[in-house]
Amino acid sequence: MNFTISSPANAVIGRYNLTLQVTSGNKIFSRFLGQFVLLFNPWCPGDDVYMANENERQEYVLNENGIIFVGNAKYIEARGWYYGQFQDHLLNICLTMLDLSLYYRQDPAIDVSRRGDPKYVGRVISSMINGNDNDNGVLLGKWQGSFHSHENPSRWDGSVVILQKWRQGNYKPVQYGQCWVFAGVMCTVLRCLGIPTRLVSNFNSAHDVDRNLSIDKYYDSSGKSLNISKDSTWDYHVWNESWFIRPDLGTSYSGWQVLDATPQEQSR
């Protein structure tokens, strides 16, 4: 007898145990068949992360190599980055990341029940890529001072070493990361889980602290600049976009969704 088992397109991702149970009369026979891992599936039309174009699936899900653009608007530098989402142990590290999050620790049942939703999983991963909020995140951010006792962010050229170092260090944040490093690692994790993901670089990047949608500068009556605004403009900033539908907002908002793992201000 042959059996075909199909999971719902919105099933929760993660590790599963597979058991066969046969009932015959009043007797029940049960046998453990093994374990499997269920991921998001961009090839499945019913999945929230479905991506119709095969070339785009090859690029945003299966490609293990990429380029990250950094520098400034007058001198844009292309840095090679190895995502390595299919390397040994990477899947286990990514699944463990979900179980280490504050979301899981606060309510494991609710957290796991929501893992079929790429919006929720993206939110959890964006929090776990950085360790600046004391949640055993992957990377600690640092932008000033000396890096001599740890890795200078500019030395990283791929995600695999960082994620392996995080696991080997008993899930303590690796030192150090900056925006393109956070984005590179986040791309690895999301592609590993089956969510199509890409990187976006923005030059002369506005950093609006007080959320009034403007970069404010203040001057006194004589024209002297007053250093009272926390707003700033960065040479560049790198973040991620992931592809999934938005039934909560309407079909016009489906497609590429912004996710930013760089620790800045806490969002709601």
User: Is residue 9 domain-resident?
Assistant: no
Residues 6+ apart with CB under 8 A from 256: 198, 241, 242, 243
The structure tokens listed for 70 are 């950094």
User: Is residue 56 domain-resident?
Assistant: yes
User: Is residue 4 domain-resident?
Assistant: no
**Per-residue model confidence (pLDDT) at position 23:** 95
Find out whether 86 and 63 touch, Cβ atoms under 8 Å.
Answer: no
Q: What is the pLDDT along the chain (268 residues), one digit of tens a residue?
A: 888 888 999 999 999 999 999 999 999 999 999 999 999 999 999 999 999 999 999 999 999 999 999 999 999 999 999 999 999 999 999 999 999 999 999 999 999 999 999 999 999 999 999 998 778 899 998 888 888 778 888 899 999 999 999 999 999 999 999 999 999 999 999 999 999 999 999 998 888 888 788 888 899 999 998 888 888 788 899 999 999 999 999 999 999 999 999 987 776 6
Active site residue 220: no
Instruction: Provide the 3-class DSSP secondary structure of residue 266.
Output: coil
- The values of phi and psi at residue 70, to 5°, are -135, 180
- Catalytic one of 48, 111, 117, 260: 260
User: Is residue 23 domain-resident?
Assistant: no
What is the enclosing helix (H) or strand (E) of 206? strand 197-207
If one counts the domains in the chain, the total is 1
Scored b (16 or more CB within 10 A) or e, 106-127 reads: eeeeebbebbbbbbebbbbbbb
Q: Which CATH number does the domain housing residue 71 bear?
A: 3.90.260.10
- Catalytic one of 48, 94, 179, 192: 179
User: Is residue 16 domain-resident?
Assistant: no
User: Is residue 31 domain-resident?
Assistant: no
- Catalytic one of 48, 117, 187, 237: 237
Residue-range definition of the domain harbouring residue 180: 42-259
Q: Classify residue 59 as exposed, middle or buried by CB count within 10 Å of its CB (0-12, 13-18, 19+).
A: middle
Residues 6+ apart with CB under 8 A from 180: 68, 70, 79, 81, 153, 199, 201, 238
Q: Angle CA(255)–CA(160)–CA(235) in degrees, nearest 5?
A: 60
The structure tokens listed for 111 are 């957290």
Find out whether 81 and 67 touch, Cβ atoms under 8 Å.
Answer: yes
User: How far is residue 196's CA from residue 245's CA, in Å, rounded to a whole number?
Assistant: 12
Active site residue 260: yes
Instruction: Provide the 3-class DSSP secondary structure of residue 219.
Output: strand
What is the enclosing helix (H) or strand (E) of 237? strand 232-244
